[in-house]
Structure 1
């Protein structure tokens, strides 16, 4: 609390100075989510005309030509946090997480199978390529209870009008409320892109490294300890199944993981393309000419090198814990498992643009080769894949239609027979009637490699390995009515040969076909000028004895006082609650890093309740959240001690105060 007080005092002092500065970020949006735009990337930006006294920032992703603006809204902290609101986690920031909204693996081809920490990994497809009129830096610092810290640094600038680079660093360090929960993650991403002056040639480059470190405790020995008060009022004193009884090591530079998982994911990508088409130019004045280019054909090559290391180590083996969770005895005092993969993918593609003045309409035909090399210590197998993919996209210039057809087919190799076909169609029904989107996807995929006998993790994955290919079909519909801040959605899943873990050590494949219906609603209600009520909800229902346990209802509600006051103060303060109906929550196997189905224990949590104050003054955003207020109890031991459960043995924290600063600078 003392640290937070002094940080607040510092911010208030600096804010007084900041309020007197000219608004260098005046061109950033005053609120709302990041929106698509083509304006910031028109030639007037690329050749800087009159914007030198402010900053205009736009970004795009690798596989789209659409540009977006930065999201400067402050009404939803989860947009800036590491986990979306639909995720649950194992009680500490940075611990294993999963979504309570059913979302099976829909990627064909090779897959390692280690996805419990995906939310903390910066992915290639999520990399933002910027263009900015001025160098821009954003610093973030989030401080939580028990010395939890999260640091972020983003810097981007244009070397020239047609050449930008960006640097993004993120660090998470959280000792945890319970014993043996420490996490230490870091992400580093550098990217750059260049377009030739006459816009025929472009090159994109990404270098990213992700390090995941998480101590695994296997859960507390018994949930009865949560009610053993006052002896276990200090939650850190509750014994856990794994990791021993050593004191926590805190500090940003402390990355020691005695019992737990260490993952490293590195990606290097380079993409080049050259266009043939029609040239044009516009003379702005005597000394300035804007070059225009309308592509008709594009020749593209993409090379990506990815390296994956998955490692579990225990230097302080707790024999009792392993016997309880895994039924194992006579383990050595220390042991470890490690898989290493290197994947090199090359893809050559040809694009054609039927409408020469609409780059968002194109056909793509591509072929690729993938080389996979593994190192399991005793053997180093190698595999190859040959694949084809094609795509048609069309967002009409009148913005009434948005269509996508795409397919990927593995013709030969380790994943031969895998495929992904998908289609989506979005239509503007009318300015007052909103948008309707229809979608379809079918994926046929090889089981993840964690189920292969050659993986070192198969030593603890004792189930069958002769699994067939999984096949999943999704049919979806989404209706959006922006005029009334309403979104309705429905998805129908049809799953065949679904693979899941049924306990700590065994995977199984469901022989029968099952289906799942998922309904979604999002709505914003206005009460007067400044009061807003946000509702987001999912209803999910399976048929028969599907090997999936989900809450029937999963919802989040925010009731907030919001608005813009004075000249530059944007504020959102209120109450947030997240609730799910009782259900049999999945357990977690720490060695394999997998969530598994269990049908013995029903989780019946109170709603997660948080109070928050979030505001922005020009380029400075501050977030103050008091979380898990629902854990307060009155009785012989009064306090925030009525913990919810994420899994049958993994409680979530009690009262948790979190303070965050996000500050943008223009150089």
Structure 2
């Protein structure tokens, strides 16, 4: 009755799957506590600034703003699910802990006709600060994600159109921490921790994005169909694709408090408040052509050669404002937004991918992404992959390697705000990586070993026990080894899922990650009266102590140097 897909699943062919009605991982609703991608943040609730706990390098090239502390709470076109619904479908999800944290998510979708589906997403995140000013609106998290989406497929199955309109409005408090931070060192150092005041009770980040995304594809020539596990996948022999994407982003920092406790290093324009703003517009046009050469089969594809060619044009524009006092023509003082920089530029990226599938057991891929013209000329990402599959008991091996060169971010090179001003020139950061991944679904086993060599690493630093921060580029190279193992055990309705990661780097003082991280979930999964699906259990997370990064308020970035130990263990029962 209900089938679901995503843009990624429609990339090479038309694939549809039944909706997931299991309770697997339902308790980890927060992006902070995903078992294989944990994050650290300024607090235990959703909506606050965050970054990965483990080493997770971004495989992106081109223009980068540099602001990513609230990315996990953004809704993007790649997050949208598309449906084929023979009946209207509504999914409502509510997680609440009173005023401490509330999450509400809603999806509704239905088919206008057999070939056209429409729907919408609506998400809310809210939480209230724990300390004395917890009834001050400036300390509350308030996030809104909204999207309208549509998928149209022609009767001939040749034409597909994915479209969505997305709006994000994220508000994240920047309290500067509590004044009396000794309460964490001594058990009896506070009469009531909820009465402790914070340094900035009315200061917060407000990020807004909005955009429209349309992807169209048309299949040319013969269309093949494979049938696997009751799912029919439609495979083209030639395909042309066009993507149009236009979005605007506004990153606002609003300091409404006098800096009595010296949270900020200095001020350049206003001594008692900040109205820093960065506005970015992005227009993208992407053209692609794919050619498939294969034999005919309705069970699986073998001896398939696939060639993808693409050209992407990106047009960017940005302006940055601060709050400053100006003198009018009549000699009076006027406070308001003052534009400090304004620029526009473009990038043209060429893309290519060549893959060969000897059978359903062996697949080879090579990918090239190169910025050939524009502001970020010279950025590239070259990727190679080999997939070797055995039978169900033998599992599969995935060998992967890539080389990447990416430009430094706008935040690190050209930045003007009330508390931070930078005008720097840095080299591209280069990353070389190789990995080995063994997956055995029959044994519920997943083993992966990764090696990274990072040259000209760019990060943010501060002097010991200081509050100032600035971008720094490491002159040498960083080596990092990351080994992860996932193993799930089951006895009847009792499940025991485990995941462990070991990371080791020769620059631990700069690239700060815990050496060991583990996650275990012990739970009982059953049906009551053949009608109610029940899952109850306990999650345990642990990481070895390490020197955690500090945080630069007003710059929305995590920085090094200031020393503090992370909290290593977290027990989370769920029902």
Shift of 1:158: 1.4
Equivalent pair of 2:268/2:419 in contact (CA under 8 Å):
no
Q: Deviations over 1:15-37 (max 9, x none)?
A: xxxxxxxxxxxxxxxxxxxxxxx
Match of 1:158 in 2: 111
Which residue, out of 133, 138, 159, partners 2:86? 133
Note the alpha carbon deviations across 1:395-449, whole angstroms, 9 max, x for none.
Answer: 67x6323443222110111000001111222221232111111111221111011
The reply on whether 1:497 has 2:456 as its aligned counterpart is: yes
Cα distance in 2 for partners of 1:600, 1:479 equals 37
Which residue number corresponds to residue 363 of structure 1? 307
Tell me what 1:262 maps to: 206
**1-side partners of 2:521 and 2:64: how far apart?**
37
Q: Distance in 2 between matches of 1:395 and 1:153?
A: 40
**Cα 1:392/1:70, change in 2 over 3 Å:** farther
For the residue of structure 2 that corresponds to 1:295, the secondary structure is: strand
Contact 2:548 2:563 in 1 (8 A): no
State the aligned residue count: 529
Name the residue aligned to 1:456.
Answer: 416
Separation in 1, partners of 2:434, 2:115: 41
Alignment of 1:181-330 (within 5 A): 181-226=139-184, 232=190, 234-243=192-201, 258-278=202-222, 295-322=236-263, 325-326=264-265
Q: CA deviation at 1:393?
A: 4.6
Q: Quick check: 1:278–1:293 contact (8 Å CA) kept in 2?
A: no
Distance 1:573 1:333, change over 3 A: same
**Structure-2 change in CA distance of 1:328 and 1:237 (3 Å):** farther
Query: Is the partner of 1:451 in helix, strand or coil?
Result: helix
- In 1, Cα distance between the equivalents of 2:233 and 2:175? 59
* 2:413/2:422 contact within 8 Å kept: no
Do the aligned residues in 2 keep the contact of 1:148 with 1:176 (CA within 8 Å)?
no
Please give the alpha-carbon distance, in whole angstroms, between the structure 2 residues aligned to 1:238 and 1:270: 49
Match of 1:426 among 387, 411, 414: 387
> Once the 2 structures are TM-superposed, how far is the Cα of residue 462 of structure 1 from its aligned partner?
5.0
Counterpart CA distance in 2 for 1:447 and 1:601 is 28
3-state SS, counterpart of residue 380 of structure 1: strand
| Cα 1:538–1:590 shift into 2, 3 Å | same
| 2:340–2:416 CA contact under 8 A, matched in 1 | no
CA drift at 1:545: 5.7
Q: Is contact 2:30–2:46 with CA below 8 Å preserved after alignment?
A: no
SS, match of residue 442 in structure 2? helix
Q: 1:402 to 1:58 in 2, by over 3 A?
A: farther
The 3 A distance-change label for structure 1 pair 292 and 167 is closer
How far residue 571 of structure 1 moved from its aligned partner, in angstroms, is 2.3
Instruction: State the Cα deviation string for residues 330-358 of structure 1 (Å, max 9, x = none).
Output: 95222221111101111111111112755
Assess if the C-alpha contact under 8 Å between 2:224 and 2:236 holds in 1.
no
Change beyond 3 A, Cα 1:115–1:294: closer
Where do 5+ consecutive residues of structure 1 fail to align? 1-54, 244-257, 282-290, 614-667
In 1, the alpha carbon distance for the partners of 2:568 and 2:425 equals: 42
- Paired with 1:599 and 1:121, the residues of 2 have a C-alpha distance of 29
- The match for 2:499 among 517, 536, 541 is 536
Q: 1:72 aligns with which of 21, 26, 37?
A: 21
Residue 547 (structure 1) shift: 1.5
Q: Quick one: structure 1 residues 395 and 561, their matched pair in 2 at CA, closer, same or farther if it must change by over 3 Å?
A: farther
| 2:572 corresponds to | 610
Q: Which moved more, 1:328-337 or 1:123-132?
A: 328-337
Q: 2:291 aligns with which of 334, 341, 352?
A: 352
Name 1:525's counterpart in structure 2.
489
**RMSD over equivalenced CA pairs, Å:** 2.6
Bigger shift: residues 583-592 or 528-537:
528-537
The structure whose RCO (Cα within 8 Å, separation 6+) is larger is 1
What's the counterpart of residue 271 of structure 2?
A: 332
Deviations 1:54-106 (A, max 9, x none): x3322232553343433322242355334324112221321111111101232
**For the Cα contact (< 8 Å) 1:130–1:156, is it kept in 2?**
yes
Give me the TM-score of the superposition, normalised by structure 2. 0.86
Deviation at 1:496, TM superposition (A): 0.7
Q: Structure 2: 5+ residue runs without aligned partners?
A: 226-231, 321-338, 463-467
Looking at structure 2, the residues matched to 379 and 599 of structure 1 have their Cα atoms a distance apart, in angstroms, of 31
Q: Which residue of 1 aligns with 2:353?
A: 391
Structure 1 residues 520, 279: closer, same or farther in 2, change over 3 A?
Answer: closer
Higher helix share: 1
Higher strand share: 2
SS at match of 1:433: coil
Q: Which residue of 1 aligns with 2:431?
A: 472
Measured after TM superposition, the shift of residue 141 of structure 1 is: 1.1
Q: Which residue of 1 aligns with 2:444?
A: 485
The answer on 1:571 being equivalent to 2:534 is yes
SS of the aligned residue for 1:320 comes to: coil
